[in-house]
Amino acid sequence: MSSAKLPECSIPIFTTVASYREWRREAHDAKQKVGFVATMGALHDGHLALVKRSLAENDLTVLSIFVNPAQFAPHEDLATYPSTLPRDLELLSAMSLPVNVQGSNGPLVRKPSAVFLPTVLEMYPSGISQTISEQKGTFVDVKGYEHQMEGKSRPTFFRGVATVVTKLFNAIEPTQTYFGQKDIQQALLLRRMTRDMLLSHPLPDKLHIVPTVRDLTSSLALSSRNAYLTPHEREVAAPVLHSALQVSKTAWQNGASKQECIRQACTLITDTAEKANASGGDDKIDIRLDYIELNDPETFDVLPEEASRAQWESEGSEGKGRPVILSGAMWVGRTRLIDNIILGDTRKLGIIE
């Protein structure tokens, strides 16, 4: 259970699967619903929105903190990934949500019930290398849906995510689980994984997607990696990704083709990049666009260049009224940012405000 090296915390912390399972058995015997939020720590209000949803909809809420080596390519930022464990535990301990439960006198106050904080060895008993050709053991591969959007830029990412989330689901046995829209491809692929792998904890329709929480003034999507940004990068450069997606959204709504929507977004980013690069000295910022794309949320295929809203939404068309994922990724200095907007009815993807 709690280990001496861990910060003080009023919430039980489990570092092994075996100790967590004892706790889980009691919840099972008491027929209590367990909500689960998977994180890599360095918590912010985006994570806390997922926890709040879980508190509102479950008797018990478990959050995991595990920086998963398998989803980082060897050249990526595993070694520097932000870690703020004492603060994370403080934030969680301070959370409480009054809920009205049938049959009880007055509202019940729910707080996070447990934190799962495993070691790398606990999660990868056969060891783990970030280089796929050196890996040994059992992995979960996502085929056919991982070659676009994030998977195109990070080809080993979804294998690492699907593998660790399978392990987490097996260990935690969540009744319901909550993922963020910020990582929309991840959330949709994991829902598909629960179907493909016939999982019961959670069932596919118990994997919920929570809208992206943004900075109130700049609309920058909150993200643990935003900690890498300098104040100047955060103010001047980072918000342009969301602005570019908004420009594309407006063009789409006004009937422009996909090609034109992307062109307008790219122009905004390249103009900002030119200005930021041109300013000399400490004010110079290196902005590099990775991609802006429009994808089908079912297949993840890119939309045809000529696709337009009217064509995509018509009954006989390929999209048959499905929403579209408008997403992008951009580097600001050493920080890779991602963001997305759903064009169409978010409820069709199970994203509930």
Ligand X SMILES: Nc1ncnc2c1ncn2[C@@H]1O[C@H](COP(=O)(O)OP(=O)(O)OP(=O)(O)O)[C@@H](O)[C@H]1O
Cα–Cα dist 109/99, whole Å: 6
Q: Are 151 and 290 in contact (CB under 8 A)?
A: no
Lay out the site mask for ligand BAL across 161-190 (x = CB under 6 A, - = otherwise). Answer: ----------------------x-------
Q: CB under 5 to 8 A by kind: which of ligand BAL, ligand X, ligand PAF, none does 164 bind?
A: ligand PAF
Cα–Cα dist 167/66, whole Å: 12
Least separation, in Å, of the C-beta of 255 and ligand X? 30
Q: For residue 202, is the peptide bond before it cis, meaning its omega torsion is within 30 degrees of 0?
A: yes
Per the residue annotation, which of 47, 201, 208, 242 is the catalytic one? 47
Least separation, in Å, of the C-beta of 94 and ligand X? 18
* Cα–chain center distance at 48: 13
Q: Are 139 and 159 in contact (CB under 8 A)?
A: yes
Nearer to ligand X, 241 or 251 (CB): 241
Catalytic annotation present for 47: yes
Lay out the site mask for ligand X across 26-45 (x = CB under 6 A, - = otherwise). Answer: -------------xx-----
| Member of 165, 207, 324, 349 binding ligand PAF (CB under 6 A) | 165
Instruction: Please report, as residue ranges, which positions from 20 to 79 form the binding site for ligand PAF (by CB under 6 A).
Output: 38-40, 68, 71
Instruction: Please report, as residue ranges, which positions from 174 to 233 form the binding site for ligand PAF (by CB under 6 A).
Output: 183, 186
293 contributes a contact to ligand PAF by CB under 6 A: no
Q: What are phi and psi of 97, to 5 degrees?
A: -140, 120
150 contributes a contact to ligand X by CB under 6 A: no
Q: CB under 5 to 8 A by kind: which of ligand BAL, ligand PAF, ligand X, none does 50 bind?
A: ligand X
Task: Of 11, 16, 5, give the one whose Cα is nearest residue 117.
Answer: 16
Instruction: Please report, as residue ranges, which positions from 48 to 77 form the binding site for ligand X (by CB under 6 A).
Output: 49-50
Least separation, in Å, of the C-beta of 333 and ligand X? 14
Least separation, in Å, of the C-beta of 345 and ligand X? 19
Cα–Cα dist 139/162, whole Å: 8
Write out the catalytic residue numbers. Answer: 47
Positions touching ligand PAF (CB under 6 A) are 38-40, 68, 71, 161, 164-165, 183, 186
Positions touching ligand X (CB under 6 A) are 39-40, 46-47, 49-50, 179-180, 182-183, 210, 212-213, 221-225
